Chain A
């Protein structure tokens, strides 16, 4: 399953004016366009199910219950509830989803409607989703234990954005038949590290060291653009991208400051 926004060529697809979230918002209330909205929303949910699951877990539910509740939450969203709530408020997909989730959990608690496991068709195929896009986020135990659910939700969200952009960068390299370039060099994406041996990279890839340096630079440039594209999918207005990134960075920093 490739993400909908798979890019046709490296460096192409800069024009991402219609984001998934803007499609959801613009189509939700328009007659005849509900299907389009559903498809866009479904795509978003497939990408951002982990923050939801994490939030439910952190609220004290067992793994199995959390999985069932996540399934139910998605079913609720697709029955159209979120869209109706979404329309008047407008805003970021992230915050709207969280608000809906919080309401849903209160609701679920009141009704105590434990869905019989295996009874309904699962919206989420956990194994497939996790296999398709496994996450490799790691955090110290104290973070998982000490952070409130909302902060963990943001952390998981931030990691999903970062990992999604990584995945797309690797797919772009793969589509050029150069997946190995990504495998070898992606550890240099954040910043120069002293222990990095450009010499070994050059040998592994069979290119001069100067090319390794240029490749690392270009991978970083491309990664940043892909990251912005990912964030763009979750905001309505492209001018909000910077704000959303800043929000996620601040959320991480604040939570880490708290727990340290």
Chain B
């Protein structure tokens, strides 16, 4: 029946006719309030109304003013996904109603990730097409990114689909418009990645508007702590290559697949693949052809079946080449002209199939020739048998990725071969199967077993599973960690850790224990990593569960009072269920979140304790280790940070963030050479090269390889113009080479863009300070000191602090009293920090500079030596830093620095001899 266009104008169609338990009515508002009961309440109105609602409201401490996003007043939550929440909101001045989407569970630890979100959201905001939902503004509030867009009052295809299900032409016309919009975006270089009915909204006239272009990955991935499946997109609508975890190689064909799946759903009432859970759906999409449209709704036009089938081809190349082609074919259908897509002939299908299954195909070729391809193809029994044979041959095949030596970090081919041989021997003793070392090098090999490399390996080696391994020296032993991953790169089939005196010993242990059998068995019974938070004991206790869930919900709001309450709730949960890993992990996150908003050192310590406890409770939890590594880095426990970041890799965390934590730790531990290697690894694992460029530049700068440092800073400045790190790095190189005029002019060129960054002005002061333009430096530092009495910006080059620089300047001007007052404060602060982290290289170095300013040569040199032992390796800054004037001419100072320079130089030599560029 041609009835009811706009979901909202008439009513949304409920999927189930849930009856009100009170009155039996089936009409609801907001899905939770029965219309009939609401009305009948009016008959029971109490005329004795008092003002107690107003008084009661006033008792609630938490006011809404705490909850605004930029210029928007949040009116109500209208949707929530894994990582995003969407509100109806009112813009402050225009009073226009908009929709605001906020990215939740966001990692507060990376300014760079934030900027990347911004850049991608701004790209999406530049799309201007009548069938793409316009984005009005991209912003950040409390460190949490959000964007505002047109409020689409017609709801989404989720609600609208039912009302046009019996009108195929309407479905086609709608999808033709959607495909045009998608095609326009592709032309602008933006792929959607998560097209699904919920992302196709309708305006007041029922015109489709595609939302969330290019932003899906920010909205739908679950937070790291709860992540069990790192697939972006929605099962049922995503292309198989995307389901297999292929993020980088995604092209417009993935969106074409999703468009086909949506059309399929519109026409039949169900997506092409159904299953009990997401993994089952994804598995089917990867392994089977989509069902034919008319096998579900026989009355539909054959052309529509052909169009859908063409979109839903598993082979990327067999789909429509573009969304535009699809749109054109849909329009041809509407106009009654012949469509371009043709049903695929059986021989073509067979050829495609054989390309996918080369080994089996060759062995079956003879049989096919005998029987006649088309005939056999039609026989269902044959298909069954073939798939069975395929299973038998391929089920027990394992590819062995080159094992990663974490101490190098580099692949170790001989260890890999040894393990492969051992594994093959064991497996052949148990049953049929094959292993092979996968030697073909990837352009971006990390060895950590991330989804992309596992999937590529399995595809190219044509195996069921991939064995990933790494080893390192732990005390007197070598620890070998092995993980068996299914070919989609996300299912963990098994994990083992072995320790022995030597690597050969560990491999021997591997051969002689039952690990081989375990691998064979786990190939037979694939297991899925269970959802940690569901298994967590916090869910067993109703009160603790209320606290835990309230804490998580409040944390998502990311305002200071909400964070306070969130911490409060999670602490209750932790007290009630002291062995809950999830509660401890979230508590650590909440503390880190509040520290991000407030910079409160106590929060960092509490985060440390909570994360530590989570690791104690579950020593093989990758996320717990990674959280702890991050917190350790924050408080300067760099050796612990290193240990836990390595543990998180061993426990199976393949993310680039874990790799960059290892790099950061090495940088602070005085091994910029290792930092460089790990940063390069981190940059290789994802398309983060430009994000990591500035930090990699810093590592090269520490190695005094200014040419490579400059190259990285330039990459950062060019690709991340939104961040100051690139040009400040370039400026700093000029300072280190005493080219102060060059540094000044570079500063002048760029400073205006980043004048509000907290590092910009201190950096200007530093240039003048090191240039010994003392009057100007003092003026700048005075301003900074007045603006911010508590000097928290300690992340400056050369471990400079505003207060200690100002103390030196006062000293130079003869204002000894002010200088000493400032110095006493600085030294007391740093001594307090040192008591907590006795091997903190920056703190030791700062104390050295401050003691030198005070004139205590002996103490200064002692601290300097200690800081170098702890990992300080910048030998150029102290030679320029006026704080060291008192010791600069002593032979000891010279000696310490030249031996440091020699050491750094040998690291650099070693590095370049290991990996010639």
Contact = CB atoms under 8 A, between A and B. Distances in A.
Given A10-B53, A64-B205, A190-B38, A174 B29 contact: no
Interface string B27-59: 111111111111111111110011111101111
Interface in B615-660: none
Contact of A140 (B13, B44, B60): B13
B11 A162 contact: no
A35 B128 CA distance: 42
B11 A218 contact: no
A159 to B, nearest CB: 5
Given A126-B205, A214-B56, A222-B53, A57 B4 contact: yes
B13 A228 contact: no
A220 interface: yes
B39 A158 contact: yes
B546 A197 contact: yes
B27 A143 contact: yes
Contacts of B543: 199
A176 B2 contact: no
A135 B23 CA distance: 22
A123 to B, nearest CB: 14
A215 B11 contact: no
A106 interface: no
B3 interface: yes
Contact of A159 (B29, B40, B52, B58): B29
B72 to A, nearest CB: 13
B5 A137 contact: no
Interface stretch (B192-200, B548-556, B907-915): B548-556
The 8 closest A-B pairs by CB, nearest first: A63-B5, A130-B153, A126-B204, A140-B17, A203-B550, A127-B204, A224-B45, A218-B53
Nearest to A255: B27
A183 B77 contact: yes
Interface stretch (A22-30, A72-80, A90-98, A240-248): A240-248
Contact of B44 (A139, A224, A231): A224
A211 B554 contact: no
A57 B863 CA distance: 83
Nearest to B204: A126
Interface stretch (B61-69, B248-256, B770-778): B61-69
Contacts of A214: 52, 56
A86 interface: no
Contacts of B32: 187
Contacts of B59: 207, 211
A162 B4 contact: no
B13 A144 contact: yes
Contact of B27 (A62, A155, A177, A220): A155
Nearest to A161: B39
Given A138-B14, A191-B37, A197-B546, A176 B58 contact: yes
B27 A60 contact: no
A205 to B, nearest CB: 6
A228 B64 contact: no
Contacts of B51: 9-11
B421 interface: no
B12 A137 contact: yes
A242 B33 CA distance: 21
A222 B551 CA distance: 30
Nearest to A198: B546
22 contacts: A10-B53, A10-B54, A63-B205, A126-B9, A126-B153, A135-B9, A136-B12, A137-B11, A138-B11, A144-B10, A155-B27, A156-B10, A158-B27, A159-B29, A166-B33, A176-B54, A189-B33, A211-B59, A215-B57, A219-B53, A224-B44, A227-B41
B52 A183 contact: no
B278 interface: no
A14 B49 contact: yes
A67 B205 contact: yes
A170 interface: yes
A45 interface: no
A148 interface: no
B586 to A, nearest CB: 14
A136 B30 contact: yes
Contacts of A83: none
A60 B10 contact: no
B1 A145 contact: yes
A141 B7 CA distance: 12
B795 to A, nearest CB: 35
B11 A159 contact: yes
A190 B42 contact: no
Contacts of B35: 137, 155, 158-159, 162, 252
B64 A135 contact: no
A239 interface: no
Given A126-B205, A181-B57, A131 B153 contact: yes
A163 interface: yes
A231 B42 contact: yes
Interface residues on A, range: 35 or more
Given A132-B97, A204-B550, A224 B41 contact: yes
B565 interface: yes
Nearest to A218: B53
A53 interface: yes
A200 B75 CA distance: 21
Given A58-B3, A126-B205, A252 B50 contact: no
A176 B57 contact: yes
A99 B153 CA distance: 29
Given A178-B60, A204-B550, A246 B43 contact: yes
B203 interface: yes
Interface in A97-154: 125-132, 134-145, 152
A50 interface: yes
Contact of A221 (B53, B62, B204): B53
Given A206-B565, A220-B41, A249-B36, A137 B29 contact: yes
Given A131-B153, A145-B3, A180-B67, 10 more contacts: A54-B4, A63-B5, A64-B206, A131-B151, A135-B9, A159-B29, A162-B33, A178-B60, A207-B61, A221-B53
A228 B11 contact: no
Contacts of A152: 10
B153 A127 contact: yes
A85 interface: no
A69 to B, nearest CB: 13
A14 B47 CA distance: 9
B287 interface: no
A121 B768 CA distance: 65
Contact of B63 (A163, A178, A189, A211): A178
Interface in A47-62: 50, 53-54, 57-58, 60, 62
B54 A191 contact: no
A253 interface: yes
A218 B48 CA distance: 12
A17 interface: no
B824 interface: no
Given A199-B546, A252-B25, A190 B41 contact: yes
B671 to A, nearest CB: 46
A189 B34 CA distance: 10
B17 A206 contact: no
Contacts of B62: 180, 205-206
B681 interface: no
Centre residue among B5, B16, B23, B58 by max chain A CB count within 10 A:
B5
A178 B57 contact: yes
A40 interface: no
Contact of A249 (B22, B40, B203): B40
Contacts of B4: 54, 57-58, 63, 144
A178 B64 CA distance: 6
Given A173-B57, A183-B76, A221 B33 contact: no
A66 B29 CA distance: 23
B26 interface: yes
Interface string B74-89: 1111000000000010
A159 B33 CA distance: 11
Contacts of B74: 179
